[in-house]
Amino acid sequence: MNTKFKSIVTGAILEPNSEMVAEQLRKNPSFVVYDGQEAAQGDEKPLSKMKQGRTSESRPGRRNRGS
């Protein structure tokens, strides 16, 4: 059964263990069948979308709790 599904909202990949769950995901418009080809085509990874240099220490109003 190794069918995978991708959430169009969050991008999460699901691999259900039961056929009943797989059928529900097929019927749900928020999920599409995922074949694993998107990552191989060089799509931008979620971590690369994050802003660089923004840490908890650089946010105003936050304390560094390390010391």
Mean pLDDT of 32-36: 91
Please give the structure tokens belonging to residue 18.
């039961």
Distance CA 15, CA 31 (A): 12
Mean pLDDT of 50-61: 58
Please give the structure tokens belonging to residue 3.
């069918």
Query: Does residue 33 carry a pLDDT above 60?
Result: yes
Q: What are phi and psi of 9, to 5 degrees?
A: -85, -50
Question: Are 5 and 12 contacting, i.e. CB atoms less than 8 angstroms apart?
Answer: no
Q: Which residue would you say has higher pLDDT here, 23 or 2? A: 23
